[in-house]
Structure 1
């Protein structure tokens, strides 16, 4: 479970203070699928960074399970990101010179898993997203939907508890969008993940169990 209590995040831009999040209090139960919508600049990506242990609030608390991530040192946050949280982004973020399987294996870069185990898990992860026969292909040899499937496999190969997605279908056409969302929903249900995604697409947001709206740094239930 995520618990956020009075989370505020401010930045200084051009000598003025900008508030990205303003006293956000929120609970996300374990295993829930949540969609976050709102206007550009409303704080959606900042909230996802808080949930992903990528940033710390200016004030307030962020708790994941029994870990108060807003108070942990950077080294501990890196451990949490490496083992408990998977990330999927709009731009795929694949390394162009690595094959699909090698891109999935980069998820183990900071671990101690033997190489043969990494390969075995990467292949299984690609199979789980329907790309078991594309492991030796470079990103340029894959369609946009296939590249996103590789990115999803990379996010899930470590068997995280949480999956965070920032506009995961934003670069895809409507048919491919639906295929990727079917895949993500299936992985969420099969693995019992806590799944939080940011999206501008209401058709995507309607698939979630719960919808939140973030505007002006404040969260409301949609």
Structure 2
């Protein structure tokens, strides 16, 4: 469970102070599927980065299962990200010179998993996203939808508790978008994940049981 209390994040841009998040308080229970919408620059990605321990707040607290992410040292925070949180990004972030299987395996390297186990788990993860027959293909040999499936497999191979997706369908056509959302929704149900996705697409957001909107650094729960 995430518990966020009076979370604030400010940036300095030249002489101007940008309030990316302002006194956000929020709870996200285990196993929820939540979408976050809002205008560009409204704070969506900043909030997702906080949830993933990729950035630290200026003030306030954000805890996962009772542990304050903002108060953890870098070593412990890296371990939490490696073991508990999976990330999916709009631009896939695949390494072009590695095969699909090798890209998925990279997520397990920080955990010290043996080479044999990395390979076995990567193949299983690719099969879970219907890409078992593309394991030896390079990203450039895959379609955009297939590349996003590899990215999802890379996030899932760690067996995370939380999956954070930042505009996972932003670079895809409508048909492929629907396929990826179907996949994510199916994995959420099957694996009991806490799935939080940032999206500009209202079609995607309407498919989630809980919808948040963030604008000018403040969050409104549209399903409350």
Point out where structure 2 has 5 or more consecutive residues left out of the alignment. Answer: none
Question: Which shows bigger deviation, 143-152 or 11-20?
Answer: 11-20
Local SS of the residue matching 2:30? coil
Residue aligning to 2:169: 169
Residue aligning to 2:152: 152
Structure 2: distance between partners of 1:166 and 1:9: 18
Structure 2: distance between partners of 1:66 and 1:2: 8
Residue aligning to 1:74: 74
CA RMSD of aligned residues (A): 0.5
Local SS of the residue matching 1:10? strand
2:27 is the counterpart of 1:8: no
Superposed displacement of residue 112, structure 1:
1.3
- 1:116-155 mapped onto 2 (5 Å cutoff): 116-155=116-155
Structure 1: distance between partners of 2:100 and 2:157: 13
Residue aligning to 1:90: 90
Superposed displacement of residue 203, structure 1:
0.4
Local SS of the residue matching 1:42? coil
Superposed displacement of residue 172, structure 1:
0.2
Residue aligning to 1:211: 211
Residue aligning to 1:39: 39
Local SS of the residue matching 2:86? strand
Superposed displacement of residue 66, structure 1:
2.0
Moved over 6 A (4+): none
Superposed displacement of residue 129, structure 1:
0.1
Structure 2: distance between partners of 1:113 and 1:207: 36
Structure 2: distance between partners of 1:111 and 1:31: 24
Show CA shifts across 1:166-217 (max 9, x none).
0000000000000000000011111100000000000000111100000000
Structure 1: distance between partners of 2:70 and 2:6: 12
Q: How many residues align?
A: 222
TM-score relative to the length of structure 1: 0.99
Superposed displacement of residue 155, structure 1:
0.2
TM-score relative to the length of structure 2: 0.98
Superposed displacement of residue 111, structure 1:
1.7
Structure 2: distance between partners of 1:16 and 1:42: 16
Structure 1: distance between partners of 2:116 and 2:72: 33
